[in-house]
Amino acid sequence: MKGLLTVVAAVLAAGVAFGQFTATNPGPINSAAPYGNANNGSFTFTYAGPDFTPNALNFSGDLTSTGAGSYPSEARWRVTNPAAQFANFQPTTQSGTWVGTLPISATFPGLSATYTGTSVGTWTFAAWESFDDGGPTTVDAIWTNLSFGFTAAAGWSYTNYFSEAAFLAAIQPNFYLEDYSTYTYGSPLNGSQTSQAYGPTNGYAYTVTNANGLWSNLSALSTNSAHTANVVTFDPNYNPVTAIGGNFTATDINGNIIPGTVTITDANGATWTLTGQTGNSFFGFTSTVPIVSVAFNCPNLNDGVNRWVQMDHFYVGQIIPEPASLLLIGLAGLMLRRR
């Protein structure tokens, strides 16, 4: 059942911010009067991903005039998070009346001071007008093709590595490397185990889980069932993890490497898609925030081929601090010695 992959073709990284989501709505959404008027339109979006602090909103939408004499600059949005915290947004400052449809896009940074509560749950997007041109029962403008894209607080980011040497140069030397060197096909994990603990080694420990069972390949860790994810959860009682890497591939049922796709999903909100992996392929990433858990899977490509994800040569560690951080650590050490 397990193994590795073939031919390095392409690696796609998505979601390279710590947590994000995009809420879309085709419309039409009425923009009629000041906030609270019943003729204004709204919609909701339920976010079920990892909790994060939004920092920037990337907005786009089409605003169509109804001929009521309104200005584009009067069209506003109130966005309320699941913690009932809200901000009002003015997508454009364009004055004067207009005819037809106006495409509008805008970016609003610095939102982490406003949306401090949970991001998980139902968000509300409500249109309104700063000035009521046509009266309380008249729609001033209509929104369509709406997109509200939130990205996380500044400073939360990832760096990808496709070279083991470059990855090692970026992390601290006291890492934990697991080669699963004692594993053979079906031993010690034969599919009946749904959880396996590793470490502590060099101050790191983690548990791998799979509800459908774990499987041992030759010097590698895999899954009992095709197209199911092995989830690696790092033990919070040991060192926080900010760097992981290794050889992640697709295999057939006998553990032979075959062409396919491997997805890596970080619970903090990023997903990578690896294609064309071979037994010598390396992929790793570092994070500016602790990595809580990561899922590895071979998705079903609907090509009639079953694939099992395999992990090998698995690194767990920490990124080397920036020079400023090192200076702070050094000063802290001096202060401790002086006490």
Instruction: Encode pLDDT of 138-190 as tens digits.
Output: 999 999 988 898 877 555 667 889 999 999 999 999 999 999 999 999 999 99
Is the pLDDT at 269 greater than 70? The verdict is: no
Please give the CATH number for the structural domain made up of 20-152. Answer: 2.60.120
Mean pLDDT, residues 302-319: 96
Entry pTM = 0.56
Is the pLDDT at 286 greater than 60? The verdict is: yes
What is the fold of 10-16+157-323?
Answer: Jelly Rolls (2.60.120)
Report the SS3 class of residue 33: coil
CA distance 212 to 319: 33
Q: Which of 195, 208, 59, 202 is nearest to 125 (CA)?
A: 59
Mean pLDDT, residues 129-136: 87
CA dihedral sign, ordered 197, 200, 201, 202:
positive
Domain ranges (residues) in the chain? 10-16+157-323, 20-152
CA dihedral sign, ordered 318, 262, 282, 258:
positive
CA dihedral sign, ordered 96, 102, 106, 112:
positive
CA distance 130 to 71: 10
